[in-house]
Chain A
Amino acid sequence: MSATALAPVPTPEHRTALPWRTQCAIFLRLLAIQGSWNYEILLGNGIGFCLEPALRLLPEGIHSDHFKQALARESKYFNAHPYLASVAVGALARAELDGEPPERIERFRTALCGPLGSVGDRLVWAGWLPFCSLLALAVFGLGGGPVLVLSVFLILYNLGHFGLRLWGLRTGWNNGLRVASALANPILRNGPEHIGRLAALATGFAIPLALYRVIGPGRVLLGGVLTAVLLSALLFVRLHGRMEGWRLSLFILAAFALFSVAH
């Protein structure tokens, strides 16, 4: 009998927590999860990149077939909101280290893509980001200087951003393949609507103040600008889908610049 045959077969170690250094390494890599985003595998390589520090804890080590098969599996196509991908990374790290069957992990990966994308888009891109942005514009309109405006925006936004990534990693790790139930969290379910209401209020409040600050004093001019804003906003809403507003604004402002130079 050979020495290899006598060697004990490593069994998956059921961990209660990831080592602190591994958690830090995964968290830092999560910030770069979209680094190799592309139209073929989307976030796939990023998921493998983030999971790699956790896979190093596999009992057979980084040169084993087990490690290579796990890394290859985790680097395939994946799509999710970049912040909520941390839920997937935590859950997949748990599943791989617990020795779940590969087919089960692959099915789980596929099932997780949709919900993590749509929840994140509604909560962050259509809620938290515009809200923080409008709040910062309100602070700007109220006379805030560069340091104050940037501090309000960056601190508030990133409390949500980093908090969500940390929560996702912990929740994913704690729940493993049962993480779907955690997505029913009230913040994820009802948060977008509440944040949306706050953002609507902030829009109304911030815009006249920001206009006033950029144009400078003069109520007649401000009144004219506000009326024009409301009328053209309704026109832009009607144009929805036919032309993007930022492109239209480029054409309008370029035409105005040409007129002003030629005038």
Chain B
Amino acid sequence: MWIDLLPIALLGGLLGLDVVSFPQAMISRPLVAATLAGTLIGHSLSGLLVGAALELIALETLPFGASRYPEWGSAAVVGGAIFATHPSHPAGAMEMAIVASLATAWVGGWTMVKLRERNAYWAARRRAALDAGSRGAVIDLQLLCMTADFLRGALLAAMSYALFAPLTSAAIRAWGTDARLSRAVVVTVAASIAVSAALKIFHGISGARWLFLSGLVVGLAVIRIV
């Protein structure tokens, strides 16, 4: 576990940076971040599975303006890495990976708020130079805040992984519910959040509900054929 900590911290830092600071190419979306973390551990498919479940939940929290939202980049790295360390997918592994991700995303959202407050403090300290049009002050502030964001994501991912990886192993040993039933609970919760988010997002668009139902019928027909 400890040998994985440094690469996980680096990945967490990079993907945490993508959430807001740079380059917002959505490599921090859970589907991508968890898969990359799984690949790092050596089991990308495990990362993809847990990433898909997290992506469904993340559909509810889109990064609108100054709103406060969970930080999925570092959080999905933790979940993807934890699930990938149990490639046989024993009962409880997915549940614990999702719980670890959600808890990390919650703390990550809080750290983002604190970082933004800190950025404001750094900007205020450079106010005179910024008002004087100092090129150095503008560039320095931008680079300082981005570096702090990278460190925030890296530390968060490392600490969360160090906490939840042993906790997950212990929980798996004591898990008493059937594996498929456990997984069904996870996806039921995740998909419910996704459907309710979609209903809220597309609420005002004419015909959206019928299109959703049409898609559902086609999706079910495909499953029947498969």
Contact status of A75 and B102, CB under 8 A, knowing A200-B198, A201-B211: no
Once the chains bind, are B63 and A228 in contact (CB under 8 Å)?
A: no
Q: Do residues A161 and B219 form an inter-chain contact, with CB atoms below 8 A?
A: no
Q: Is A260's CB under 8 angstroms from B177's CB? A: yes
The residue from A45, A154, A215, A263 contacting B141, defined by CB atoms under 8 A apart: A45
Q: Does A89 contact B (CB under 8 A)?
A: no
Q: A102 an interface residue at 8 Å Cβ cutoff?
A: no
A225–chain B nearest beta-carbon distance, Å? 5
Contact with B along A224-261 (1 / 0, CB 8 A): 11101110111111001000111111101110110111
- Interface residues in B156-182 by Cβ distance below 8 A to A read 171, 174-177, 180, 182
User: B88 → chain A, closest Cβ, in Å?
Assistant: 14
**Chain B hits for A153, CB < 8 A:** 26, 29, 31-32
In whole angstroms, what is the CA distance A259 to B92 when docked?
11
A196 CB within 8 Å of chain B: yes
What's the Cα separation between A71 and B209 when bound, in Å?
49
Nearest residue (CB) in A for B19 is A34
Cross-chain pair count, CB within 8 angstroms: 338
Residue of B nearest to A127 (CB): B201
A245 to B188, CA, bound (A): 12
Contact B215 A200 (CB under 8 A): yes
Question: Does the CB pair A129–B62 fall under 8 Å?
Answer: yes
Cα(A67)–Cα(B132), bound, Å: 10
Docked-complex contact B189 and A52, CB < 8 angstroms? no
Beta-carbon contacts under 8 Å, A187-225 to B:
193, 196-197, 199-216, 218, 221-222, 224-225
Please report the total number of A residues contacting B with Cβ < 8 Å. 107
* Docked-complex contact A142 and B222, CB < 8 angstroms: yes
Interface size class of B (residues with CB under 8 A): 35 or more
Q: How far is the CA of A52 from the CA of B60 in the complex (A)?
A: 37
The B interface, classified by DSSP as helix, strand, loop or mixed, is helix
Among residues 52 to 74 in chain B, which have CB atoms less than 8 Å away from a CB atom of chain A? 52-53, 55-66, 70
Task: List CB contacts (< 8 Å) of A52-71 with chain B.
Answer: 52, 62, 67-71
A26 to chain B, nearest CB (A): 14
With A and B bound together, what is the CA distance between A195 and B200 in angstroms? 15
User: A157 contacts B177, CB within 8 Å?
Assistant: no
Q: Most chain-B CB neighbours within 10 Å: which of A68, A202, A221, A233?
A: A233
Which residue from A134, A237, A253 sits with its C-beta under 8 Å from B102?
A253
Task: Tell me if B191 is interfacial: C-beta within 8 Å of chain A.
Answer: yes
Binds B, one of A16-24, A144-152, A170-178: A144-152
Chain B residues lying within 8 Å of A203, measured Cβ to Cβ, are 194-195, 198, 202, 212, 215
* Interface hits, B99-121 → A, CB 8 Å: 99, 102-103, 105-106, 116-117, 119-120
A209 near B55 (CB under 8 angstroms)?
no
**A222–B191 alpha-carbon span in the complex (Å):** 12
Q: Which residues of B contact A (CB under 8 A)?
A: 20-27, 29, 31-32, 35, 38-39, 44-45, 47-49, 52-53, 55-66, 70, 91-92, 95-96, 98-99, 102-103, 105-106, 116-117, 119-120, 122-124, 130-135, 138-139, 141-146, 149, 171, 174-177, 180, 182-202, 205, 207-209, 211-220, 222-223, 226
A residues near B, CB below 8 A? 31-32, 34-42, 45-46, 48-49, 52, 62, 67-73, 75, 79, 81-83, 117, 121, 125-126, 129-130, 132-134, 136-138, 140-142, 145-146, 149-150, 153-154, 157-158, 161, 193, 196-197, 199-216, 218, 221-222, 224-226, 228-230, 232-237, 240, 244-250, 252-254, 256-257, 259-263
- 19 CB contacts below 8 A, A to B, read A32-B22, A35-B22, A79-B66, A121-B64, A125-B62, A133-B59, A137-B55, A142-B222, A145-B45, A158-B25, A205-B216, A210-B52, A214-B53, A215-B187, A233-B193, A233-B195, A236-B196, A260-B92, A261-B171
